[in-house]
Structure 1
Amino acid sequence: MKITYLAAMAGRNSMRNRRRTLLTFSAVAIVVAAIAFGQAWLGGIVHTIFDNYIRLQAGHIKIYHKAYQEKEQMLPVDLAVEGVSTMGARVARLDGVAEVSPRIRFGGLLSAGERTAFGTGLALVPETESRVMKLSGLIAEGRYLTGAERGILLGIRLAESLGVARGDTVAIITRTSRGAMSAMGFEVVGLISSGIGALDRRSFYVTLPAAHRLIGLEDSATELVVMLEDHNTSREVAREIGSVLREMGVDEWYVAVPWQGQGEFSSAVASVLVSVGIVTSIFFFVGGLTIFNTMLMSVFERTREIGMMRALGLKAGGIICLFLLEALVIASIGGVCGAVVGSGVALCLQSTGIPLGGAMENVSFPIGNVLHPRWSPRQPLYAFIFGLVMAMAAAVYPAHRASRLVPSECLRAI
């Protein structure tokens, strides 16, 4: 029997029982839409976490003392990179480098009146970090740091624990690079609300010149963060920076490490990818099961119809081909509609974002207050192909089984 005749019959059958067709169509469309949007949602989570880690901590490349990474959790300020002005200027001239910013990470006891709290400090160059960390966009109250002032930005939860507000004075007590104790007062100029619990509860920010006076460093930093025009070139640029360090005669002490080689960052990315993989698998499993069950039900309830077609002379191969064509027609239309709906929702939310409120504050990954889905054309394509394959696969077994039944037995079925 010609395939064109079977295709025409499949089209008529699809329109004849509209309830059954609508059920199958809806199952495929809903699953494809959910998977298309789900992939964009998960892509947004991965991109947000990656972007926050890069901006707030890892950079695309870090230059630091070779012994620093082993003791990074202790925030040692005695293992600093010296001569960061000269080094930063030379690195900034390399192709592909967008920004070079010195930072000092240090721990300290913050005191305000009778209240105290331990915090993790980051000393920075305000002008450069306004383009790298973009803290100015996270300020909930007050203003951003400027120049070499003795101002301080506090995480909003840290400020609450200290009972301070904008304009109050906070003392920082810490160790200098020589191991002595040092203290200095700072005026609270702003409060940071990132939606990232670890930052809002423990982090504070001061200018690099003020930190130099507090810690006893001069033209030094615990790390030199390098941002690139393309993060995919990080390994190549890191090798070029290594050559610069050799030319300066400091490669014995300092090393340039791309983001892929930074232990804490690599572990975090691996954990995120594993979590995303598990959630994606659940999406596909549940979606596939839904389509499979719907198609099975649709085919099995047509036993009498199959017997009638067999009695009229339609061969077993024709039965299988007919049901596959019906599944192809319905799944194709449902898949296209689902892909369009899922992509439309993802694209709308990509620009506006999904407000998360404080839901992510206690999550170990830096996600923040707003999540923006990350849409790409392959997401609806993969979802459409998946829906089509599952619908076809679900039609094969019952159609093959039904095609082997004796016509008289099919006609007696209820």
Structure 2
Amino acid sequence: MTWFLLKGLLRDRHRSLFPIIIVAAGVMITVLIHCWVHGVVGDLTATNATLDTGHVKIMTRAYAEIASQLPNDLAIFGVEQLLTELQQEYPDLDWTPRIKFGGLLDIPDESGETRAQGPVFGMGIDLFSPETQEIQRLNLNIALVQGRLPQNAGEIVISDQFAQQLGITLGETATLISATSTGSMAIENFIVVGTLRFGVEAMDRGAMFADISDVQYALDMFDRAGEILGYFPNLLYQKQEAEEIATRFNAAYQENDDQFAQKMITLRDQNGLGAYLDMINVWILIYLAGFIVVMSIVLWNTGLMSGIRRYGEMGIRLAIGEHKGHVYWTLVYESLLIGLIGSIIGTFLGLGLSYYLQEQGIDISGMMEGGKMLMSTVLRAQITPAALYIGFFPGLAATTLGAMMSGIGIFRRQTAQLFKELES
């Protein structure tokens, strides 16, 4: 029976081609929108993770309470050993230490007197290790305006706007005036070897990046770091795994009352991101549900009209002795085949376009004035497991439901009336 009905659909394109195209188009658009929205949200999550939160972050308990004040006197001790243990315990994550600090950047003249000076926000990151991913993760090569990134001890890069305000040229010496981890004054000379453009005013006003070893030396933080960040592969945040890792890590320090005991928090526990992501997911759900309902109505109407146009055919089949129930269920079965074929084609087309947008993306750098670090200039889709069925089942169900509703007319009409509709 299935092969018989399928042959009938293939031979009568007026009965199958248009409904299949409608189903495939609706399913494809649903899958594409689902993947695109999740990709954009994932990009926002990755932006926060790369710059500040990581997918998981380790701090001391005291540091975590006032982290916004950058209390480096409460930083983690024994960073090298801790990193070794983390890489052995959680090898799937990439672990990297960072130090954030504030201070003044002083530019001396030829006689050593202050020529220009400005407040600076600094970050010490791993720039020199062969296996470091910090340069790619923070898009430092892309954000570079002039010069190069630090390659030797004592070299820094600063924001391009900040460099212009202070009148700094590449190769000049800049003096960092800050506070050490013990509370004394820190004064250290660096050589400016490059400038960066971030596209965010707060960063462009005054930011500097240096290798973490130089910052540890300048701030008297040997084998210490304010934060240790962990990243999943490909910067894809995995909520459940992150929470399991954090729970497992914190359980080892649960009975330790020391304020310098380590504490791990996830991305969702920082900067209100948990509530923000939950709100976005709710809006995504509402938007997709609305779109699926509209698509279902269109497909239902298509199935309904297709069934009504065939009332004459049903009259002939009843006139030659076919039972009403058999006619009705063959109509439903046909619509099920149409919905199945259209949903499969639409899902594959939607996944194909989504994969292209996931790998290639849409470059919006022309819409941004050089902001290439804090926000990706390429918007990408993200294929999720839900994309396999988010459009498939509505496409299948709506077409079948439309045929079932239109088929009710077979039972409400007499055979002669259905046969008469063939004439019109």
**TM over 0.5, yes or no?**
yes
| 2:229 aligned partner | 225
Give the whole-Å Cα distance in 1 for the aligned partners of 2:150 and 2:174. 15
Q: Does 2:8 match 1:12?
A: yes
| 2:285 aligned partner | 277
Change (3 A) 1:117 1:15: farther
Q: Which runs of 5+ in 2 are unaligned?
A: 108-113
**Could you report, residue by residue, the CA deviation over 1:180-208 in whole angstroms, capped at 9, with x for unpaired residues?**
77666654434456778876777542222
| 2:339 aligned partner | 331
Preserved CA contact (<8 Å) 2:149 2:156: no
Preserved CA contact (<8 Å) 1:29 1:335: yes
Preserved CA contact (<8 Å) 2:50 2:137: no
CA drift of 1:30 comes to 0.9
> Which runs of structure 2 are paired with 1:79-228 in the superposition (5 Å)?
79-94=74-89, 96=91, 99-108=94-103, 120-128=121-129, 130-132=132-134, 134-135=136-137, 137-140=139-142, 141=144, 142-154=147-159, 167=171, 177=181, 186-192=190-196, 204-212=208-216, 214-227=218-231
Q: Report the residue type matching 2:330 in the other structure.
A: L
Q: Report the residue type matching 2:332 in the other structure.
A: L
**Could you report, residue by residue, the CA deviation over 1:210-256 in whole angstroms, capped at 9, with x for unpaired residues?**
33455454433221234578966555654665577689x78443333
Give the whole-Å Cα distance in 2 for the aligned partners of 1:303 and 1:337. 29
Give the whole-Å Cα distance in 2 for the aligned partners of 1:395 and 1:288. 13
Give the whole-Å Cα distance in 2 for the aligned partners of 1:199 and 1:255. 29
Equivalent residue of 1:68, what SS?
helix
Q: Which runs of 5+ in 1 are unaligned?
A: none
Change (3 A) 1:111 1:373: farther
**Could you report, residue by residue, the CA deviation over 1:48-74 in whole angstroms, capped at 9, with x for unpaired residues?**
444444443333442212133332333
Moved more, 92-101 or 192-201: 192-201
| 1:69 aligned partner | 64
Q: Does 2:387 match 1:387?
A: no
Give the whole-Å Cα distance in 2 for the aligned partners of 1:316 and 1:204. 80
Give the whole-Å Cα distance in 2 for the aligned partners of 1:88 and 1:347. 35
Give the whole-Å Cα distance in 2 for the aligned partners of 1:84 and 1:115. 36
Q: What TM-score does the superposition give when structure 2 sets the normalisation length?
A: 0.75
Preserved CA contact (<8 Å) 1:195 1:369: no
CA drift of 1:27 comes to 0.8
Q: What TM-score does the superposition give when structure 1 sets the normalisation length?
A: 0.76
| 1:373 aligned partner | 381
Q: Report the residue type matching 1:145 in the other structure.
A: P
CA drift of 1:164 comes to 6.5
Q: Report the residue type matching 1:27 in the other structure.
A: I
CA drift of 1:332 comes to 2.4
Give the whole-Å Cα distance in 2 for the aligned partners of 1:339 and 1:256. 44
Give the whole-Å Cα distance in 1 for the aligned partners of 2:161 and 2:329. 65
Equivalent residue of 1:26, what SS?
helix
CA drift of 1:370 comes to 1.7
| 2:36 aligned partner | 41
Give the whole-Å Cα distance in 2 for the aligned partners of 1:131 and 1:325. 55
Q: Report the residue type matching 2:354 in the other structure.
A: A
Moved more, 61-70 or 45-54: 45-54
CA drift of 1:137 comes to 4.7
Q: Could you say what the CA RMSD is over the residues aligned between the two structures, in angstroms?
A: 4.4
